[in-house]
């Protein structure tokens, strides 16, 4: 199976999405609390410089994700310091929903662990809700709005997404099985 050398680009998509979905709800809740106090717990109020910086990071990364979705293109990627690998990589593809699924699983797991640990999870539902929006927007952009890449690179674009998904399924699925069986 090809596409193994493109795994870092798939991981980059995953990391960008994770930062976006964990920081963007802070912005939503903070602005909602500024407009109408009490919609979310007080910890979501944007008071200090740090709060406003965190509130800026979320929309910045969401914009990056949406830019790659709504401006589909084949990008030249270069990875490696000592052994350089140059290849072409699609900015979006319907198969990237597999990577989006990893993000959704992490956010739901985060919510479940928070509830099991008896943390105050008021407003945490915004995190999985944001994560679910990304694959929906990705599929709508590709199939409904027609933001497709007209290039032969799209024929193999599923491979890095599949590799990333399989690696995470093996690591976390296998690790979970070991924990639950012991």
Q: Is 52 helix (H, G, I), strand (E, B) or coil?
A: helix
Query: Out of 2-6, 103-107, 153-157, which region has the weakest mean confidence (pLDDT)?
Result: 2-6
**What gap in Å lies between CA 57 and CA 59, rounded to an integer?**
6
Task: Encode pLDDT of 6-52 as tens digits.
Answer: 777 888 899 999 999 998 988 888 888 878 877 777 777 778 888 78
pLDDT of residue 48: 80
pTM, to two decimals = 0.83
Say if residue 148's pLDDT is above 70: yes
* Among 26, 25, 45, 23, residue whose Cα is nearest residue 35: 45
How many domains does the chain fold into?
1
pLDDT of residue 67: 93
Q: Tokens in use for 152?
A: 């032969």
Number of neighbouring beta carbons within 10 Å of residue 40: 19
Domain of 9 in residue numbering reads as 4-181
**What gap in Å lies between CA 176 and CA 45, rounded to an integer?**
36
Share of the chain above pLDDT 70, in %: 88
Residues in contact with 171: Cβ distance below 8 Å, sequence separation at least 6, in sequence order = none
* Sheet strands (E) in 36-177: 74-79, 85-90
pLDDT of residue 135: 96
**What gap in Å lies between CA 163 and CA 156, rounded to an integer?**
12
pLDDT of residue 5: 65
**Mean pLDDT of the 138-146 span:** 93
Say if residue 176's pLDDT is above 70: no
Q: Tokens in use for 57?
A: 């990071």
Measured CA to CA in angstroms, residue 52 lies from 28, 45, 57, 59, 144 at distances of 12, 10, 9, 11, 35
**Mean pLDDT of the 133-154 span:** 90
**Mean pLDDT of the 80-96 span:** 78
């Amino acid at each position: 199976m090809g596409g193994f050398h493109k795994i870092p680009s798939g991981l980059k998509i995953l990391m960008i999405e994770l930062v976006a979905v964990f920081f963007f709800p802070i912005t939503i809740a903070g602005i909602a609390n500024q407009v109408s106090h009490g919609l979310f717990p007080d910890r979501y109020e944007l008071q200090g410089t740090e709060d406003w910086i965190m509130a800026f990071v979320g929309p910045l990364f969401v914009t990056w994700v949406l830019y790659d979705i709504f401006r589909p293109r084949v990008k030249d990627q270069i990875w490696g310091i000592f052994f350089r690998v140059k290849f072409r990589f699609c900015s979006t593809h319907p198969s990237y929903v597999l990577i989006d699924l990893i993000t959704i699983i992490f956010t739901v797991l985060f919510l479940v662990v928070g509830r099991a640990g008896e943390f105050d999870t008021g407003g945490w539902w915004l995190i999985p809700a944001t994560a679910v929006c990304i694959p929906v927007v990705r599929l709508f952009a590709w199939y409904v709005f027609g933001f497709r890449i007209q290039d032969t690179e799209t024929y193999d674009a599923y491979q890095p997404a599949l590799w990333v998904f399989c690696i995470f399924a093996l690591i976390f699925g296998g690790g979970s099985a070991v924990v639950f069986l012991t």
